[in-house]
Amino acid sequence: MSEFDVVGVGLNATDTLLLVPHFPAYAGKAPYLQEMMSPGGQVASAMVACARLGLRAKYIGAVGDDERGRIQMESLLGTGINLDHVQLRRGCANQSAYIIVDQSSGERTVFWRRDDCLRIDPEQIAPEQIACARLLHIDGHDTPAVAHAARIAHERGIPVIVDVDTIYAGFDHVLPHVDYLIASSEFPAAFTGEQNPFRALEMLQNEYGMRVAAMTLGAHGALARYEGRFVYSPAYVVNCVDTTGAGDVFHGAFCYAVLQGMPIRESLEFSNAMAALNCTALGARGGICGLDEVRALMARAERRPHPSFATHDTHE
């Protein structure tokens, strides 16, 4: 039996959120309603979501030794996530972000910074740190390191899920070891040069052979290609307060769904529901909920399919 259900290798961040009535015009000026500091980051937040769902989670990443790093570590320590291989970097500022949240829509604009002193190198990840889990979740930022981790997992038959939102140099060395690509809506077109999202996902899957090639669509839900067919899952309608971290929580929920053996459609619906709940509170992890709340939302909430995606849903 594996020591952990899921291990995550990748980013964490500490955010400063500013809630504004509406985003001002370019070069404009506007008052803000609230300021708060909130822990976040792609893989760290996904692991928090996994732990909230009852998974035995482990996080591998680098944290600065400043106040933002302290806030991040304190937030993780309270979750039950294993942090044995989190690296504390002396004299290094933690990754930070300034996030402007538009109260009228819940949408956010992000300005972020990550110093090179937080970089994780491949030699800092030993095989036993990956082989101890049933599933690996990564992002794309420290590309050589996550490629190394994905290779270790792939060679041992451990499924690999990747969250990627932009193009990283050398990311083509990661993709051959990925089983589940869950990208941002922008990544497939940017990586392939194909603007049609259906064709772009098909190209990625044909080229790299991952089991599922998918993309999150924000307020429109998620789209996946699986076994030669497209599966579209509309988003759940909630009172959206802040979309920060929705994608990260989606990925954590998807990790859970894979480990539970859910069919692809149910996996997308479950992940959409958990992401939607996170949008009902401020902060990247403000609305992370447990299994009962997620199932309750799936049972009662309205969904609004986007016609451009719904008409291509060919899964039977």
Q: What is the pTM of this model?
A: 0.96
* pLDDT of res. 75: 97
* pLDDT of res. 313: 74
Mean pLDDT by 10 residues, the chain (316 residues): 96 96 90 95 98 98 98 96 98 97 93 97 98 98 98 98 96 98 97 97 98 96 96 96 96 98 98 97 96 96 88 65
What is the Cα–Cα distance from 273 to 278, expressed in whole angstroms?
9
Q: Are strands 160-164 and 133-138 parallel, antiparallel or unpaired?
A: parallel
Closest Cα partner for 260 from 231, 224, 291, 235?
291
Q: Does domain 4-12+43-85+116-310 have CATH number 3.40.50.300?
A: no
Give the number of other Cβ atoms within 10 Å of residue 28's Cβ.
Answer: 7
279 contacts: CB under 8 Å, gap ≥ 6: 106, 238, 240, 241, 242, 243, 246, 287
* pLDDT of res. 314: 64
* pLDDT of res. 67: 97
Q: What is the largest CA-CA distance in the chain?
A: 58
- Phi, psi for 63 (deg, rounded to 5): -130, 135
Closest Cα partner for 312 from 157, 198, 188, 165?
198
Closest Cα partner for 185 from 219, 148, 151?
219
216 contacts: CB under 8 Å, gap ≥ 6: 182, 183, 184, 185, 222, 247, 250, 275
* pLDDT of res. 251: 98
Query: Looking at this protein, which amino acid is placed at residue 221?
Result: G
* pLDDT of res. 311: 80
Domain residue limits, the chain: 4-12+43-85+116-310
* pLDDT of res. 103: 94
